[in-house]
Amino acid sequence: MHLDDRLFSDKKLYLPLLAAVLLLPWVPMGLAGPYVLRVATLTLVYMVLALGLNVVPGFTGLLDLGYVGFFGLGAYTAGLLTVHYQWSIWLVLPLAVMNGVFWGVLRGAPTLRLGDDYFAIVTFGFSELIILVIRNELWLTRGPMGVPGIARPDFCGAVLDQPWQAYYLILFFLLLVLWVVVRIRSSRLGRAWFAIREDEIAAECVGVNVANYKIIAFALSAAIGALAGAFYARWFRFVHPDMFKFWESILILCLIVFGGMGSISGALLGAFILIPLTEVLRIVLPDSLSNARYLLFGLLIVCMMRWRPAGLLPVEKE
């Protein structure tokens, strides 16, 4: 049985993992405590992103090079609504997700007939356009000044201002997203996606409505990206166009390539290893080298494709 199927059914697997992530904020770590918790929260954000991106290249086999567009869209939607109207995160977040779905479908609909490399280029161009609009429409987004002073997340009227509270909040979202993708993976919808991934024409011939199922994948993927963005904006309390550069898309892609495209546990493992690693590199390397740490990601992608294209936790071939 594949690891992905056991995530929610094998008690021996999920109980220790769940205990570990739940107890993390209470492990005494002295002065390093707040920092470790910050990195852990960031790692969970990237786990959500990796799961969301995985839906399109991993499940349907179409390379998405613009995932950061939805991350940025969610972050800016949530950030601006919060700054202007002081709404609760529980209202802002669904709105950000809906905005993500809207653009995800709008982007996806014209690309249905495109082959793999043209699809990749359109996704890339689309996300660059989103970020370009964010950077230039000062009346809406304040452009390169960024949006500072976004309120922290809240729950039942109380502000979640402790680091562990934000950690538990993103953990809740991660488990929600994880549950959704694991359930979908073994549903009729998931099987349709895998059929499209393996052979689109064959899938169409046996009656899979390729267009509909692709649109659902785009919508779900965009929704998850926007969700992560909305949380990120409320947690980091600042958004800026430079936070959503093309390299972020590649970093998220790197997470799922490393873990294994299409593999849910692989996406989690990829984020679990690589995100703390980037943070460690940022500290360990001198300034001149730390700017070039993406060099390792480039090399990692190339080496994975060369020697282990299915990733660390590959999806088994049926």
Q: Please identify, using beta-carbon distances, which residue of 5 and 204 lies nearer to other proteins.
A: 204
Among 117, 156, 206, 207, binds other proteins (CB under 8 A): 117
Q: Does 34 bind other proteins (CB under 8 A)?
A: no
Distance CA 13, CA 113 (A): 41
Q: Does 126 bind other proteins (CB under 8 A)?
A: yes
Nearest in space to 257 (alpha carbons), one of 242, 265, 267, 248: 267
Q: Please identify, using beta-carbon distances, which residue of 2 and 293 lies nearer to other proteins.
A: 293
Determine if residue 115 is left, alpha or beta; phi over 0 gives left, psi from -120 to 50 gives alpha, anything else beta: beta
Binding mask 127-156 for other proteins (x = CB under 8 A): -xx--x--xx--------------------
Q: Please identify, using beta-carbon distances, which residue of 28 and 286 lies nearer to other proteins.
A: 286
Chain centre to alpha carbon of residue 3? 20
Find the part of the chain contacting other proteins (CB under 8 A) among 36-44, 108-116, 178-186, 267-275.
Answer: 108-116
Q: Does 289 bind other proteins (CB under 8 A)?
A: yes
Name the token pair of 90.
């529980």
Find the part of the chain contacting other proteins (CB under 8 A) among 31-39, 85-93, 218-226, 295-303.
Answer: 295-303
Q: Could you tell me which residues come within 8 angstroms of residue 227 by beta carbon, excluding any fewer than 6 positions away?
A: 48, 52, 74, 93, 96, 97, 100, 173, 177
CB of 295 to other proteins, least distance (A): 4
154 in helix, strand or coil?
strand
Binding mask 42-81 for other proteins (x = CB under 8 A): ---------------x---x-x-x----------------
CB of 301 to other proteins, least distance (A): 3
Q: Does 35 bind other proteins (CB under 8 A)?
A: no
Distance CA 256, CA 263 (A): 8
Chain centre to alpha carbon of residue 203? 27
Could you tell me which residues are beta bridge partners of residue 148?
Answer: 238
Could you tell me which residues are beta bridge partners of residue 158?
Answer: 155
Q: Does 288 bind other proteins (CB under 8 A)?
A: yes
Q: What are phi and psi of 207, to 5 degrees?
A: 95, 10
Q: Could you tell me which residues come within 8 angstroms of residue 155 by beta carbon, excluding any fewer than 6 positions away?
A: 90, 165, 169
Q: What are phi and psi of 8, to 5 degrees?
A: -110, 0
CB of 309 to other proteins, least distance (A): 5
Positions touching other proteins (CB under 8 A) are 57, 61, 63, 65, 110-111, 114-118, 120-122, 125-126, 128-129, 132, 135-136, 201, 246-247, 250, 253, 257, 288-289, 291-295, 297-302, 305-306, 309
